[in-house]
């Protein structure tokens, strides 16, 4: 494990618990006291403040990078040199160029690479994606993802140089990959329109952003992200198709409500702002945030000699989309997504989800009125005339 901070501990809690046969054998931290404490808490046999020493430890089969964004590339290159399988936390890079270099490095080295995008492994998301892939929603027209909270835990997130951006890079990477998965990861993202601003926090990067991602088949992805939201961690997804809709609420409304005066209260849930009043605890955070399913997929994939659901290539595509979002926020215009490496479909035609009523008409809408009649709105296929028909 490279990194002993907040996300490293979340990862450790999950990967040592889900399959009951995986163990952290070495922990690297930049601070000796942190490395020692992590090793003690997670029963690690080896700790070090030398990253290459941890990676090259003879008992290490796979390296998990849970370091600040500006340290990802150096860690990945060290894994390539040591020929060690590697998993990296999100976002893969601070920008697409950085992400592409990492992707090409692991592929050249021929090592396993996994992109740790936990929110596409949550139980609700996986179930929803299964329904979408089975065609329950028909043609996917729009996929929206929202992640907002009061802001991250560590100081480096707030430094634009170390982090590479603000809430859009930190949270938007989740939202973009969620929408991209629903729309189809083989469908090319073509352009982005984005608004971003610094509304509350005294930082150089943005603390609030909203964006639209246009895909080649005509579908739209939407993200809403903020470090200014008050009230906890809000994770919501919506998918709209020609035949149905899915709404997901993954964290803030969990079906577990609790009121307390605060007596004896401590940790409630990630990003919770209070331990008194009405609270919304989470029964199993590791599971609800996708960590358990994510690491099970990573380890099962490496043992089977195949790629996991999320690879460095996915991280690279996400970075490219977010680069376009940053350019759009500055230009106030639609900006193209620059993908020098694209491995999906090419030249997909935009298709309209038209429903035929009969040989003469398309069906625009069918409804039952409050007075008990069935009403149809139809469009003539040849003339384009729109008529109303009451049955």
Cα–Cα distance, 123 to 137 (Å, whole number): 19
User: How are beta strands 46-48 and 26-28 bridged, if at all?
Assistant: parallel
The pLDDT of residue 270: 67
The pLDDT of residue 18: 75
| End-to-end Cα spacing for the chain | 67
Domain positions in the chain: 6-90, 120-289+309-336, 361-390
3-state secondary structure of 79: helix
The pLDDT of residue 283: 84
3-state secondary structure of 147: strand
Structural element, H or E, at residue 375: strand 374-380
Q: Which residue ranges of the chain lie beneath pLDDT 70? A: 264-266, 269-271
pLDDT in tens, 280-333: 888 888 999 999 999 999 999 999 999 999 999 999 999 999 999 999 999 999
Cα–Cα distance, 125 to 325 (Å, whole number): 24
The pLDDT of residue 261: 84
CATH class of segment(s) 120-289+309-336: alpha beta
The pLDDT of residue 23: 94
% helix, strand, coil for the chain, step of 5 = 35, 25, 40
Q: Which CATH superfamily is domain 6-90 in?
A: NAD(P)-binding Rossmann-like Domain (3.40.50.720)
The pLDDT of residue 115: 98
pLDDT in tens, 117-167: 999 999 999 999 999 999 999 999 999 999 999 999 899 999 999 999 999
The pLDDT of residue 134: 96
């Amino acid at each position: 494990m490279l990194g002993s901070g907040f996300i490293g501990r979340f990862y450790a809690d999950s990967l040592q618990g889900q399959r009951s046969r995986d163990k952290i054998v070495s922990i690297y931290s930049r601070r000796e006291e942190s490395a020692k404490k992590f090793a003690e808490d997670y029963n690690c046999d080896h700790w070090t403040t030398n990253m290459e020493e941890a990676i090259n430890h003879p008992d290490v089969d796979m390296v998990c990078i849970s370091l600040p964004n500006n340290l990802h590339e150096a860690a990945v290159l060290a894994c390539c040199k040591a020929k060690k399988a590697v998993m990296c936390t999100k976002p893969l890079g601070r920008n697409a160029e950085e992400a592409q270099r990492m992707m090409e490095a692991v592929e050249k080295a021929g090592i396993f690479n996994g992109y740790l995008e936990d929110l596409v492994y949550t139980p609700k998301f996986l179930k929803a994606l299964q329904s979408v892939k089975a065609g329950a929603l028909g043609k996917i027209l729009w996929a929206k993802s929202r992640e907002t909270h009061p802001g991250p835990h560590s100081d480096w997130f707030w430094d634009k140089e170390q982090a590479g951006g603000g809430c859009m890079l930190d949270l938007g990477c989740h939202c973009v990959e969620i929408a991209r998965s629903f729309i189809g990861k083989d469908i090319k993202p073509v352009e982005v329109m984005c608004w971003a601003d610094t509304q509350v926090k005294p930082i150089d990067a943005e603390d609030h952003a909203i964006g639209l991602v246009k895909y080649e088949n005509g579908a739209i992805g939407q993200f809403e992200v903020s470090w200014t939201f008050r009230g906890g961690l809000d994770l919501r997804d919506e998918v709209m198709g020609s035949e149905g809709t899915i709404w997901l609420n993954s964290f803030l409304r969990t079906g577990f409500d609790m009121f307390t005066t605060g007596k004896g209260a401590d940790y409630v849930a990630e990003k919770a702002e209070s331990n008194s009043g009405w609270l919304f605890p989470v029964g199993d955070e590791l599971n609800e945030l996708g960590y358990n399913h994510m690491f099970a997929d990573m380890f099962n994939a490496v043992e089977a000699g195949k790629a996991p659901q999320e690879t460095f290539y996915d991280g690279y595509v996400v970075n490219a989309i977010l680069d376009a979002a940053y350019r759009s926020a500055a230009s106030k215009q639609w900006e193209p997504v620059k993908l020098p490496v694209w491995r999906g479909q090419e030249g997909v035609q935009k298709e309209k989800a038209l429903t035929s009523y009969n040989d003469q008409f398309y069906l625009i809408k069918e409804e039952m009125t409050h007075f008990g009649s069935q009403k149809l709105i139809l469009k003539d296929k040849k003339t384009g005339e729109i008529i109303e028909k009451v049955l």
